[in-house]
A and B are shown apart, each in its own frame.
Chain A
Amino acid sequence: MIYSDKVMEHFTNPRNVGVIKDADGVGQVGNPVCGDMMTFYIKVENERLKDIKFQTFGCGAAIAVSSMVSEMAVGKTLQEAMAITNTSVAEELGGLPKNKLHCSNLGADALHAAIEDYRKRQESTKKGEPAGQVPPPESKEEHEECFCPYCEGPIEGLDEFCHSCEVELEECPECGKYTRKGDETCISCGAALPRK
């Protein structure tokens, strides 16, 4: 098995799966094009995460990461929850295969997006704007292709080459995102790239 026992355990019995209809904040990241999509719903009381639910379209790692993030964050203050990083999630899960590390980024990102959504709603209430149901934010990345990290041009199909800016790309073995071939470090995660 490519995954740790802990990952498989969370995949088999994920915590906090579901939807909160009257959520205080909703965060959605990823898109089906690149493989994973996560939606986090939060209920907040006295600056603490009282309840978290999530839904995930994605691989075993993505499901386990979502579950782990929800378990790590529930009961925490918003500030503490914002401090949850992809590294800490991957560590809690007993490690992830290198090419799946980007899933752990998504998990923390989705939670953080939900918290930011909650804060935005708080601000607009303070400003006296009409309270009530704020629609969940449209995911920024939805319906997008995979993008070149340099010019944001779409990367299609088999290409490891950006046709917009003509940069040759390779996948960072650390975070799985595209970075420029021949660079010393990954543009996304900063990891040192192995030289051939």
Chain B
Amino acid sequence: MRRIYLDHIASTPVHPLVLEEMLPYLKERFGNPQSLHADGQEAMAALEEAREKVAGLLGAESAEVYFTASGSESNNLAVKGLALAQREKGNHLVLSAVEHQSVLHAAKSLEKLGFTATLVSVDKQGRVDPEEVRRALRKETVLVSVMLANGEVGTIEPVAEIAEICRSRKILFHSDAVDAVGNIPVNVKTLGVDALSLAAHQFYGPKGAAALFLKKATRILPLIDGGIQEGGRRAGTENVAAIVGLGKAAELAAAEMAARGLLQSGLRDKLMVELPRRVDRVVLTGHPVERLPHHASFCVEFIEGEGMLLGLDMKGIACSSGSACTSKALKASHVLLAMGLDHALAQGSVVFSLVDGTTSDDIGHLLEVFPPVIDRLRKMSPLYTKYLEEKGQ
């Protein structure tokens, strides 16, 4: 059966050139970068080359890039590491309500250590109001963390404005840019961030390689104590092959991002316009314009997301949902609820995120397959029956 992969936000495929670059480091170039012999130094050189490429993509200096194993780890390192390093200064954090769990739960852990966190709400399109961040700041605030783009609803946040507010108050600012880096231009200097997280598998690199940008001379406490890797800020033998892949993916993104974005946003726009035309009672979630170029997300009324996911999967289409049933914890997406969607509607969440290679034909096929999948589930739904009765049908 024809498979159409529309789950970029879960992971992109690995670019063939990225894989090619990685393979020698899983074979003959297996040295430990910390070894002084030639084998080790070969791996070290590869590591530093990757660091330069990632720095290049971000407009940062190489020495400001720290490799980690996941976007979640980068977020944890930033939130916990920056907060704990400033413990003497204060104990208050400000986060947006739509942050990734790795930011929210990191803050929750800090609460057990005497920190408090203020969650800044978002509007109906998932946007944070920078003025609300300003109002949430206190004398004891030591860190603000607001994501650059939201994976569930695609909305791009006004990070530069928030960073500016933080800078004027001399408060550190971190942005989780895992869904953004490699897909939209991200320049740490233009944004004015002190720290920024990214992950390779969101831009055609491998899983298991990620990074934290940390502005020069910013104090941070490590999560992992041990050796001197990553300047002592992240101990542990480096995952050289994956990091080399991250470097190559960054290099490719710098060159190809604009073209990819243009192609994907064209197809995505078609999906955003056509899908609600083909099925009634479907709403777009997130911001209609300020959103990731590969991202289209909706809520379909009267049905639940997991059934939709399974139905589409059986037709060969891979996508995501923020419904309670699709989450292990059986809770509806905190992002959709923070945007003020009611629970029943949030259960009908579905996210299509395009990847490199998605064609117009793929989107056409999705638009054909989608209505009957929805129709079948609605015919089973007591909420739809009630709706039809009230409508008088």
Contact = CB atoms under 8 A, between A and B. Distances in A.
Contacts of A158: 104, 331, 334
Given A32-B347, A57-B302, A37 B382 contact: yes
Given A12-B314, A14-B380, A57-B381, A35 B302 contact: no
B325 A58 contact: yes
Given A34-B330, A99-B330, A59 B379 contact: no
B307 A58 contact: yes
Contacts of A61: 325
B332 to A, nearest CB: 7
Contact of B304 (A19, A55, A59): A59
Interface in B48-90: none
Interface in A131-153: 146
Interface in A20-53: 28, 32-39
B381 A59 contact: no
A59 B325 CA distance: 6
B337 interface: yes
A12 B307 CA distance: 10
A55 B382 contact: yes
Interface string A90-109: 00000000011010000000
B138 interface: no
Contacts of B197: none
A60 B330 contact: no
A64 to B, nearest CB: 10
A171 interface: yes
A59 B380 contact: no
Contacts of A37: 382-383
Interface string B271-309: 000000000000000000000000000000011101100
A164 B328 CA distance: 25
A91 to B, nearest CB: 21
B317 interface: no
A30 to B, nearest CB: 10
A55 B385 contact: yes
B262 interface: no
B105 to A, nearest CB: 8
Given A35-B332, A36-B304, A60-B307, A55 B324 contact: no
Given A57-B303, A60-B306, A36 B383 contact: no
Interface in B323-354: 323-326, 328-332, 334, 337-338, 343-344, 347
Contacts of A102: 330
A38 B334 CA distance: 24
A118 interface: no
Nearest to A33: B343
Contact of B382 (A34, A57, A59, A146): A57
B325 A62 contact: yes
Interface string A45-80: 000000000011111111100000000000000000
A62 B326 CA distance: 12
Contacts of B344: 32-33, 57
> Max chain A CB contacts within 10 Å: which of B104, B323, B325?
B325
Nearest to A30: B382
Contacts of A57: 302-304, 344, 347, 380-383
A193 interface: no
A35 B328 contact: no
Contacts of A59: 304, 306-307, 323, 325-326
B228 interface: no
B310 interface: yes
A17 B307 contact: no
A35 B310 contact: no
Contacts of A28: 382
B389 to A, nearest CB: 10
Nearest to B346: A32
B382 A39 contact: yes
Contacts of B314: 12
A39 B384 CA distance: 12
Given A35-B330, A60-B306, A19 B325 contact: no
Contacts of A176: 330
A155 B89 CA distance: 33
Contacts of A171: 329-330
A17 B330 contact: no
A53 to B, nearest CB: 11
Q: Which 5 A-B pairs have the closest CB atoms?
A: A59-B325, A32-B344, A59-B306, A35-B324, A55-B382
29 contacts: A3-B310, A19-B385, A28-B382, A32-B383, A33-B332, A33-B344, A35-B330, A35-B332, A35-B347, A55-B380, A55-B381, A55-B382, A56-B380, A56-B381, A57-B304, A57-B344, A57-B381, A58-B306, A58-B307, A59-B306, A59-B307, A60-B306, A60-B307, A60-B310, A60-B325, A63-B307, A99-B330, A157-B338, A158-B104
Interface of B: 104, 302-304, 306-307, 310, 314, 323-326, 328-332, 334, 337-338, 343-344, 347, 379-383, 385
